Amino acid sequence: MKFQLSGLPLLALGLLVSGGFWSCTKDFDEINKNPNGVTADKVDPSFQLTNVMFGTGMDAHIHQRIQNLYCDIFAQYFANEGFSSQRYIPVDGWTNDYWSAGYYNGWVANLNDIIRNEGAKDNKSNAYHIARIYKALVVTRATDLFGDIPYFKAADGTGENPPYDKVQDIYADLLRELKEASAGLSSANLNIPANQDLIYHGDVSKWKKFANSLRLRLAMRLSEVDPATAKQHAEEAVAADGGVMQSREDACVIPKSPSYGWGRDNALGKYYGWGGMTMSRTMENLMVGLGGQPFPGGYTTDDQGIQLSSNVEHPTDPRANRYRVGVPSKVDPRGPLMFEVTTADNGGVENDVIDGQNISTVGRWAGIPAGLPSTASGLTQYSNVKYARLAAPFRDPEFDYTMMPYEEVCFLQAEGAYRGWNMGGSAKSFYESGVRASMARFGLSGAPVDAYLASTDENTYGTTANYDFRSGKTFLGKPADGSLQKIMTQKYISMFPDGSWEAWNDHRRVGLPVWVAPAAPDAGAVTATDGSPGNFIKRIAYPTVEGINNADEYGKAIASQGPDKVSTRLWWDLNVWWNKAD
């Protein structure tokens, strides 16, 4: 459902109430204060919340750079987008835009205004508690990108350079905040007007479910580094008043539409029009064969095509250096609905020339390798438009942005139950609920989904959909079809296309699902070449300006966390799959 907003112009209001991360002296501010001007304490907090929701939703500028060209590429939902980030070289200007204009000066500053002003009141409004919940979402995304960041004193209104806080301290406080804010929400409180609440339209029960579900997500992040705390918060979140999400209607979704103003529509169609949004080889390998469903449409199947002479793809990829034509005979039924078969209209050519050989690139459903070297960019065999690309429904300007889907909560509970935590059900039941919910999003239900969940057909690595079955296959010496492998594979697929933030987090945390290592990452970005966790990016470097404007605190963070490199692991990044069997 789409919403028309009423009241003050949101963009102008956001500029008025956004507090600066660095500011002039207090005396200067006092002298130049307009006694009749608009200040944060005089603004209805719902306006600020709406603006933050839109901003984090995200506008096209931040979405392309941080979501699409960072997280989507790092999580390998898409590949070969043509920017340095595909080789794990961040772009400082993009990072700085997110860090300063978005995270601190925009979102956190506005949320802090609400928390300070509403928190000072004897009868605290629901806006106060919702701002705390939403700030937890905003902050966890930032700390998961960088590691240690300013948090406790960030955008606090003092104008002082804030210290960096440790990831473990930030997570401890966010978990506390979510617990308290969820408990504080009440239908008896002054509520947000429904037309200003983009996400839940003033429904307090749904905000409680989101807060508890987000707490479950954050608790799971600690599963390897602090399992006792992870278990405690996960179990409490599920059992808390209001519980966690129970259906797709509970999902945290931000509406998109061109009518909301520039950059507030779904931007995926724009990137597609520029030749991007191409399915990665990792996505292909995970979905080919999985569930045993026939590929629709009557295309040529399982043709292995030609051996490429370029030989630049990563050697651990089972499909490396072959240019296949046609489609796989069996595929996860969501795959062809996520990415389209090539046609003459979207880039395929009936009589194409690939690596010196005549071949048809029409009717292909294949993924492109991640992290290709710059020398491959001019080769016809690595032209993005000759591979499967994002399907039309996801390119609709009004395709909404999902911050947290119900399916994710199912798989979080499945993982918790797998670990022996009390999630209120079995790992298998939550796993199957997550798969069914994901299938329903694509209009799939009934007998085909039953058959999928019963299938013992293997994907490229040997993973199957049947929770109780074990193929016995291994990949890179590790089991490919254990319970955790199944859960994380299905979670990864179900969260497409907006869930790349969590997909990348999961891969750093447990090393699952299996990904193809990038073919030619920057030499300073990785510490291994064997397909192990050392092949993948671990974080984003801080914006260069931090080393200038906040030099002392920046230096302390580097001394504490490690070098300001993309290969430096975060506190919770332990990659359990690589270190022990299922």
Question: Rounded mean pLDDT of 68-79?
Answer: 97
Residues forming a β-bridge with 357? 354
pLDDT recorded at residue 46: 78
Supply the Cα-derived Rg of the chain in whole angstroms: 24
Nearest to 200 by CA among 123, 126, 110, 114: 126
Structure confidence at residue 416 (pLDDT) = 98
Residue 28 has pLDDT above 70, yes or no: no
Instruction: Look at the chain and count its residues.
Output: 582
| pLDDT at 312 exceeding the cut of 70 | yes
Summarize pLDDT for 182-207 with one digit per residue, the tens. 999 999 999 999 999 999 999 999 99
Query: How much is the average pLDDT of 205-231?
Result: 98
H or E element: which one contains 479?
strand 478-479
Nearest-angstrom CA–CA distance, 131 and 181: 9
Q: Which residue in this structure is represented by tokens 């942005």? A: 401
pLDDT at residue 157 greater than cutoff 70: yes
Condensed to tens digits (0 to 9), the pLDDT of residues 113-156 reads 999 999 999 999 999 999 999 999 999 999 999 999 999 999 99
CA dist 548 → 92, 224, 424 (Å): 14, 35, 50
Structure-block tokens of residue 434: 């997550």
The tokens describing 426, both together, are: 């079995």
Q: Please, how many CA atoms are within 13 Å of residue 469, restricted to the half-sphere of its CB?
A: 16
pLDDT of residue 574: 85
Report whether 71 contacts 141 (CB < 8 A).
no
- What sign for the dihedral angle of Cα 461, 462, 466, 467? negative
- In which region does residue 170 sit, left (phi positive, over 0), alpha (psi from -120 to 50) or beta (all else)? alpha
In order of 239, 244, 413, the CA distances from 424 in angstroms are 8, 11, 8
Query: 515 pLDDT exceeds 90?
Result: yes
Residues 525 and 565: their CA atoms lie apart, in Å, by 7
Q: How far is it, in rounded angstroms, from Cα 258 to Cα 397? A: 7
332 exposure class (CB count in 10 Å sphere: 0-12, 13-18, 19+): buried
Q: Whose CA is closest to 414, among 404, 424, 401?
A: 424
Cα–Cα dist 295/332, whole Å: 8
* Tokens found for residue 429: 């039941």
On whether the CB atoms of residues 317 and 366 are closer than 8 A, the answer is no
Among the listed residues 344, 353, 345, 383, the one whose alpha carbon sits nearest the alpha carbon of residue 366: 383
Per the prediction, the chain carries an average pLDDT of: 91
Quick one: pLDDT band at residue 41, thresholds 50, 70, 90?
Answer: low
**Quick check: bond before 488 cis, omega within 30?**
no
Residue 348: both structure tokens together: 């395929």
Does residue 16 register a pLDDT over 50? no
Of the listed ranges 36-50, 141-155, 235-249, the least confidently predicted one is 36-50
- Phi and psi for 480 in degrees, rounded to 5? -105, -10
Examine the pLDDT at 33 and tell me if it is beyond 80.
no
Q: Number of C-alpha atoms within 13 angstroms, CB side, residue 243?
A: 10
496: buried, middle or exposed (CB in 10 Å: 19+, 13-18, 0-12)?
Answer: buried
282 touches 78 (CB < 8 A): no
Predicted local confidence at residue 173, as pLDDT: 98
- 79 has pLDDT over 70: yes
**Tell me, what's the pLDDT at 25?**
37
Residue 491: CA count within 13 A, CB half-sphere: 31
Identify the pLDDT of residue 31: 44
Other C-beta atoms lying within 10 Å of the C-beta of residue 579: 12
pLDDT at 104 over 90: no
Residue (of 409, 48, 385) closest to 209 by Cα position: 409
- Cα–Cα dist 17/46, whole Å: 12
Collect all residues with Cβ–Cβ distance below 8 Å to 281 and sequence separation of at least 6.
Answer: 76, 79, 313, 317, 319, 367, 368, 369, 370, 516
Mean pLDDT confidence for 266-280: 94
Scan for tokens 């459903």, then name that residue.
Answer: 365
pLDDT of residue 576: 72
Which of 404-413, 525-534, 547-556 is predicted least confidently?
A: 525-534
Pairing of strands 303-307, 474-475: unpaired
Q: Name the helix (H) or strand (E) containing 114.
A: helix 109-119
Given the DSSP bridges, would you call strands 252-254 and 401-404 parallel, antiparallel or unpaired? Answer: antiparallel
Cβ neighbours around 73 below 10 Å, total: 26
- Could you report the per-residue pLDDT of 478-498, keeping only the tens digit for each? 999 999 999 999 999 999 999
Cβ atoms of 215 and 237 within 8 Å: the answer is: yes
Is the model's pLDDT at 379 over the cut of 60? yes
Backbone angles phi, psi at 475, to 5 degrees: -135, 125
The token pair at 308 is: 């490429």
Q: What is the pLDDT of residues 563-580, one digit of tens each?
A: 999 999 999 998 776 666
Lowest average pLDDT, out of 56-70, 75-89, 300-314, goes to: 56-70
pLDDT at 578: 66
Q: Pairing mode, if any, of strands 322-325 and 339-340?
A: unpaired
Does residue 502 carry a pLDDT above 60? Answer: yes
Q: Which domains does the chain have, with CATH numbers?
A: 276-395 (no CATH), 405-523 (1.20.120.840)
Using DSSP's 3-state secondary structure scheme, residue 575 falls into: coil
Q: What is the largest distance, in Å, between two alpha-carbon atoms of the chain?
A: 76
Predicted local confidence at residue 579, as pLDDT = 64
